[in-house]
Amino acid sequence: MKRRTFLTATTASLAATQLAGPASASTSTSGSTAKNYEVVARFWGAMPTGVTVSRRGRIFVNFPRWGDDVPFTVAELRGGKPVAYPDAEVNRQDASDLAGHFQSVQSVVVDAADRLWILDTGSPLFAGSSYGGPKLVAVDLRTDRIVRKILFPPEVVPANSYPNDVRLDLRRGAEGTAFITDSGGSNGIIVVDLATGRSWRRLTGHPSALPDKDFLPIIDGEPFMVRPAGGEPVHYETGSDGIALSADGTRLYYCPLSSRRLHSVSTDALADPHATDTDVAATVEDHGFKPMADGLESDDKGRLYGGDLEHNTIWRRNPNGTYQTLAQGADLLWTDTLSIATDRHLYAIANQLNRLSPFHEGQDLRRKPYLLIRLPINAGPVRLV
């Protein structure tokens, strides 16, 4: 069978399908305690992908512009409802001012200094990006104002790239360093010096960042493939996606989405702008099997977390390499981003991504609401400051 990436297949399919409904959410405190997790919010509009929580418990989410009606791509939950953040104007999609507006945000992360970092792919509908669109933006949560904006040059983020998720180590460099997975056509890791704004690529095309050519997962009881309307099914292929820093900041864990393998690389090597590709690749470690996961997260006890997309579960990997199932439920369908908060809970988005129309011959099988859930883990977030 032919193979094609999800980004390529989705561009045409979602461009022809505009799904109605404003972004909205409702909260629940009753939760699913029997499943060891509770529903924090239900989303009845656009599909979310990312979540992060500040030290004071403020919850931020994002809605990429993949075809849903997305009036704002970054939001804060206030009174149980998503509200454009930091304001509606910067969330207005504007092709004439790519750098001045959020085009399509894939990830939001609060750093150890309690700033919100927003990762804009610059690629609505996966249609490709131009300079000014792909960027990393910081908001001061004390003032709710943008305080930093880093634009990625085309040689670091080519038009076919898709910056996916970000982790930050504020101890590296004068003001810190960001590490970003690229799950688009140029799979690899993007490194950013937050003081200078300089960025560079590492592990581009390295086997550990590429999708597994023999990968065919079973999700929702069927082989998960790209199934265009009237066309032949093709294998789903997406590379480097999930990302997490070790508790001591010495290793960066990452995984292709189309894979059941976990790898890590030295952050010293990644952050050295003078290191060669060979130098960096020499520090890559293969940690063996892991369940198929989208996002990754880590805690201050040296443990990793992810969702098992094939079994509707959330797992924890212990420092000795053993795995535990922490939660399971039919409504944990496609656990996307995970985030650990100071309340010692793991937050996660379940967004039914596998039911999007490109995977079902043009039929959107998602059933609202999408969920934001949390579960207690008796650990805090990794804070490298």
Residue matched to tokens 């999007």:
356
Q: How many CB atoms within 10 Å of residue 97?
A: 11
Q: How many CB atoms lie within 10 A of CB 257?
A: 25
Q: Supply the pLDDT for residue 6.
A: 52
Q: 4-8, 248-252, 277-281, 311-315: lowest mean pLDDT where?
A: 4-8
Nearest-5° Cα angle at 369, 365 to 370: 85
Q: For residues 141-158, give the mean pLDDT.
A: 98
Instruction: Evaluate whether 86 touches 78 at the Cβ level (below 8 Å).
Output: no
Give the integer Cα–Cα distance in Å for 95 and 305: 37
Range 335-339 average pLDDT: 98
Q: Is the pLDDT of residue 138 over 80?
A: yes
Q: Quick one: how many helices (H) and strands (E) in the chain?
A: 3, 30
Residue type at 48 in one-letter notation? P
pLDDT in tens, 176-231: 999 999 999 889 999 999 999 999 999 999 999 999 989 999 999 999 999 999 99
Q: Using alpha carbons only, what angle is made at residue 38 by residues 60 and 383, rounded to the nearest 5 degrees?
A: 45
Give DSSP secondary structure letters for 112-140.
TTSEEEEEE-S-GGG----TTSSEEEEEE
Report the pLDDT averaged over residues 99-128: 97
pTM: 0.93
User: 108: Cβ–Cβ under 8 A, 6 or more apart, which residues?
Assistant: 50, 51, 52, 60, 61, 62, 74, 116, 117, 118, 119
Amino acid at 362: G
Mean pLDDT for 252-281 is 97
Question: What's the CA angle centered on 332, arms 330 and 333, to 5 degrees?
Answer: 85
Q: Which of 147, 305, 271, 277 is nearest to 209 (CA)?
A: 277
Strands 59-62 and 3-5: unpaired
User: Rounded mean pLDDT of the chain?
Assistant: 92
Mean pLDDT of the region 83-91 = 98
Q: Which residues contact 11 (CB under 8 A, 6 or more apart)?
A: 125, 126, 127
* Element (DSSP H or E) covering residue 81: strand 81-84
Give the pLDDT of residue 35: 72
Q: Are 209 and 179 in contact (CB under 8 A)?
A: no
DSSP code at position 12: H
Alpha carbon distances (Å) from 54 to 108, 134, 342: 11, 24, 8
Total residues found in the chain within this entry:
385
Q: Give the pLDDT mean for 65-80.
A: 96
Question: What percent of the chain lies above the pLDDT cut of 90?
Answer: 89
pLDDT band of 3, cuts 50, 70, 90:
very low
Residues 6+ apart with CB under 8 A from 304: 244, 253, 262, 296, 297, 298, 316, 317
* pLDDT band, very low/low/confident/very high, at 233 (cuts 50, 70, 90): very high
Question: pLDDT digit string (tens) for 5-24?
Answer: 555 545 444 444 433 334 56
